[in-house]
Structure 1
Amino acid sequence: MFILASSLVCIAQSIITTGLVYLMSDFSVSSTQAQWSYSAFLLVVGVMIPLSAFISRRFSAKSIFFFSLIIFLLGSIICYFSTSLVVLIIGRVLQAIGNGIIMPYVQILLLRTIPEEKWQTYMGAYGLVIAIAPVIGSFLGGFVISLYGWRELFSFFTISAIILLVLGVFFVKDNTPTEDYPLDYASVVLSIIGCAGIMLGFTNVADYGFTHYMVILPIIIGIITLILFVKRQSKLEKPLINLSILKNKYFLVGTIFICILFACLNGCTGLLPIFMQGIAYNSAIFSASVLLPGGLLIIAFNIIGPLLTNRIGIKKVLIMGCVISIIGFAAMMFYTQDS
């Protein structure tokens, strides 16, 4: 049940990108404003993930399942009936809260309940499911948007969430241990301000350029706040998130690689549909079809990547991934309406 719920909320993350041009038209907003329906989702998920340690210790599996899906359902309903971009973003924020709770919790639940010798198998299977869900969702989303409009995406999420809630009554057991784990509110505030500042600054680049105070000031505030957040975690007996693992240089380098490549991937996910539909004047179906091969390759390399790592080592795999990414991003610099 948790994996089904994770698949659903994962689909919601990027499926809206194929409808950004339609949002721009319906709400009379710019591409920078419309993409906040996507960026706000990612921001909230990023803020919620550090809370996973507190949530997983404080609440039972059943409570987490129902709370995350109910708030996701509420967000989906708000999105469906939204009359402005602001209302849509509020709905997307609620969807993201549900996503940010349940996604990391499933991994924690697997590690708690599955024997250690089977971790790799189950985590790999879970990763494959999470990789497949947004690919299929984005592809089908293009067809739904073209034929029925972007609001019908949220009717799908509403109906699916209700079905999962009903099934959860019968199949989700309330047998996980809980403890009185403290929540450091100052850390939560610092993480929100830090993440929001950096994302707001980089989002404003499209409208103001790199040298404008609306870009520089939020980024500086975000960086300073995150530095304070990191220092505070080292002083707490039970931190919001344990950052001591970053002292391992291999984990640190790997995390930096993932952050950079994931940022580039999400940027392309948001920009390409706008380019293909708003500049090259193609349909949402065409846009979804263009993104599909890349999505399928992500699924394939979720399997191939670990096998290559075991065979030739992580360093070569990282270098290969970066080189291939650079070639792909460089090619996109020369896209025109006729591409």
Structure 2
Amino acid sequence: MTPHHDGVPATQTASQITQLDADPNPTPVETESYKTPLVIKLLVAATFVVILNETIMINAIPRLMVDFNVTARSAQWISSIFMLTMAAVIPVTGWFLQRLTTRAAYTIAMTTFTVGTIICGTAPIFEVLLAGRAVQAAGTAIMMPLLMTTVMTVVPEHARGRVMGNMMLAISVAPAMGPAVSGLILNLGSWRLIFAFMLPVAVAVTALSLRHLKNVGDTNTAPVSWFSVAVAALGFSTLVYGLSEVGARSTSQLILMIGGGAALVALFTFWQLRLQRIGSPLLDLRAFNHRTFTVSLVLMSVAFMAFLGSMILLPLYLQQLRGLSAMQTGFLVMPGGLAMGLLGPRVGALYDKVGARPLVIPGSVLMVVALFTMSRVIDAGTAYPLILGLHILLMVSLAAIFTPAFTLGLGALPPELYSHGSSILGTLQQVAGATGTAALVVILENRSRSLVSGGATADEAFIGGLQWAFIAGSAFGAVVIALSLLLPSKADQPAGPAH
């Protein structure tokens, strides 16, 4: 292990100093007066920029179809390639972040994102645009685990909830703002203006951050298993792609893609268990030896299935049945994302005071209430204020779930597993989101076909399928309630070493 830190004696790491300074039983005044370190604020700002980019191209798809003469199905790859690259890269970040200093990892992430932005903005053909989006996504995939790992390293346990809540502000608000921001930019002209807008923002944030960013924690020079890298990238991206294609491909194609991806993921898992015996896994699965982390991870994965699955249903309803444009849809769902983000810091501060259970259990119940109510009230003429209110309620419930569960789960790990725990969480979020979306789309389509065969009109069948899909989402929520009852209020302290 080679220490990398600024102004810190060689015998003490940043995490050790944090542990020495932190009172294990802080008073409320101490918790409230804790100041978020500058390194976290800088990383949150950069993360906001790169995550905003994930959804900012949604409204540009019609323009791309015209400019590049591609079909709607091909144009959708502008979003799909981002998701697939994230799924391929995130499993590698646990090893990557342990080898590099904070500044080096940040520089690589933001430089990669910036280069991808330049490629996209100047792309002469559609294939080059897709390549640029993949490069952007690779940088984004590094930023999220880097931010999470840094928080766990430098922030004392008693203040992590509030700091994680500030993270949620960026993570939740950015994707909610993407479609609305792109809609406003597209009113000014070409889709290339989106990247012209993103480029100076990314450069400015990177330059400002590198002026103040300092290294925290230690680095590890463990060798990389390139076989693991290849299997992880191919396995997770194939699995997520297969799941995302449910409803658009034949059954035999889906079985081949999903089954092949799952087989490669199983091979990757077996290989990591083998590498653990010699001390150099690409993704250290010993994080699952910690019960609180495992329960929190499963809970968040199921919640993501309900969350992202439901998030695809509402735009389908608003655009296909109610005739709203993508920009109008974006503005209608944006208040929910803003509510979720703005509540993040408050929920985090409450977690620091009362723990996870008093927040996650009521949040899980509210999620079920919101989704089940949607299944009852959604029809061809549902009032927009009611849709808006239910969506905000759903986002508020998720704010009460994600920040506490995430903070509790990572807090249960020893420091040497923070980067691996963050990577595991990010990877399973991609898989869970694709799984939840696939499951609810299949339910919607099967129920709609059944109603059409029974004599219902196309609109009536679509509403019936939508209602069943929201009921399935509320069933996911019921699982989250059950898992929330298994959570401790606080992570076991101190967390033991990996073994």
**Given the two structures, how large is their TM-score scaled by the length of structure 2?**
0.59
State the AA in 1 paired with 2:120. Answer: C
CA deviations over 1:240-282 (Å, ceiling 9, x no partner): 2222333556644543443344345445656766776688664
- Structure 1 stretch displaced more, 23-32 or 217-226: 23-32
State the AA in 1 paired with 2:269. Answer: V
State the AA in 2 paired with 1:167. Answer: L
**Aligned residue in 2 for 1:3:** 44
2:188 counterpart SS class: helix
1:76-95 to structure 2, matched below 5 A, reads 76-95=117-136
**Aligned residue in 2 for 1:16:** 57
State percent identity of aligned pairs.
26
Say which of 337, 343, 363 aligns to 1:317: 363
Question: For residues 114 and 301 of structure 1, do their structure 2 counterparts lie closer, same or farther at Cα, with a shift above 3 Å needed?
Answer: closer
Question: For residues 148 and 323 of structure 1, do their structure 2 counterparts lie closer, same or farther at Cα, with a shift above 3 Å needed?
Answer: same
For the 8 Å contact 2:168–2:345, the answer to whether it is kept is no
Unpaired stretches in structure 2, ≥5 consecutive residues: 1-41, 380-443, 445-461, 465-499
**Aligned residue in 1 for 2:81:** 40
For the 8 Å contact 1:31–1:274, the answer to whether it is kept is no
For the 8 Å contact 1:13–1:38, the answer to whether it is kept is yes
Question: For residues 214 and 136 of structure 1, do their structure 2 counterparts lie closer, same or farther at Cα, with a shift above 3 Å needed?
Answer: same
**Aligned residue in 1 for 2:284:** 242
Q: CA deviation at 1:326?
A: 5.0
Structure 2 residue 145 is matched with structure 1 residue 99: no
Q: CA deviation at 1:40?
A: 1.9
Say which of 181, 203, 207 aligns to 2:244: 203
**Aligned residue in 2 for 1:285:** 327
CA deviations over 1:85-121 (Å, ceiling 9, x no partner): 3222211111111111121111111222223332222
Say which of 149, 168, 174 aligns to 2:190: 149
CA deviations over 1:183-239 (Å, ceiling 9, x no partner): 222222121122122222233334324x2x221101110111111111222222232
Q: CA deviation at 1:74?
A: 0.9
State the AA in 1 paired with 2:48. Answer: S
Question: For residues 95 and 28 of structure 1, do their structure 2 counterparts lie closer, same or farther at Cα, with a shift above 3 Å needed?
Answer: same
Cα distance in 2, alignment partners of residues 178 and 312 from structure 1: 37
**Aligned residue in 2 for 1:113:** 154
1:83-232 to structure 2, matched below 5 A, reads 83-174=124-215, 177-209=218-250, 211=251, 213-232=252-271
Larger Cα-atom Rg: 2
CA deviations over 1:268-306 (Å, ceiling 9, x no partner): 656766776688664443132122133224325546766
Q: CA deviation at 1:155?
A: 1.1
Cα distance in 1, alignment partners of residues 112 and 242 from structure 2: 28
**Aligned residue in 2 for 1:233:** 272
For the 8 Å contact 2:46–2:206, the answer to whether it is kept is no
For the 8 Å contact 1:13–1:41, the answer to whether it is kept is yes
Cα distance in 1, alignment partners of residues 195 and 313 from structure 2: 22
**Aligned residue in 2 for 1:63:** 104
Cα distance in 1, alignment partners of residues 232 and 372 from structure 2: 31
For the 8 Å contact 1:50–1:241, the answer to whether it is kept is yes
Q: CA deviation at 1:33?
A: 2.6
Unpaired stretches in structure 1, ≥5 consecutive residues: none
Question: For residues 70 and 311 of structure 1, do their structure 2 counterparts lie closer, same or farther at Cα, with a shift above 3 Å needed?
Answer: closer
Cα distance in 1, alignment partners of residues 265 and 92 from structure 2: 15
- Structure 1 stretch displaced more, 252-261 or 233-242: 252-261
Q: CA deviation at 1:73?
A: 0.7
CA deviations over 1:141-192 (Å, ceiling 9, x no partner): 2211233232211111211122123324422235653231222222221211
Say which of 322, 325, 341 aligns to 1:299: 341
- Structure 1 stretch displaced more, 11-20 or 133-142: 133-142
Cα distance in 2, alignment partners of residues 31 and 265 from structure 1: 25
For the 8 Å contact 1:13–1:134, the answer to whether it is kept is yes
Cα distance in 2, alignment partners of residues 24 and 257 from structure 1: 39
For the 8 Å contact 2:165–2:346, the answer to whether it is kept is no
Q: CA deviation at 1:62?
A: 1.6
Question: For residues 257 and 176 of structure 1, do their structure 2 counterparts lie closer, same or farther at Cα, with a shift above 3 Å needed?
Answer: closer
Name the one with the larger helix percent.
1
Cα distance in 2, alignment partners of residues 107 and 114 from structure 1: 11
**Given the two structures, how large is their TM-score scaled by the length of structure 1?**
0.84
Cα distance in 2, alignment partners of residues 257 and 117 from structure 1: 22
1:147 counterpart SS class: coil
In angstroms, what is the RMSD of aligned CA positions?
3.1
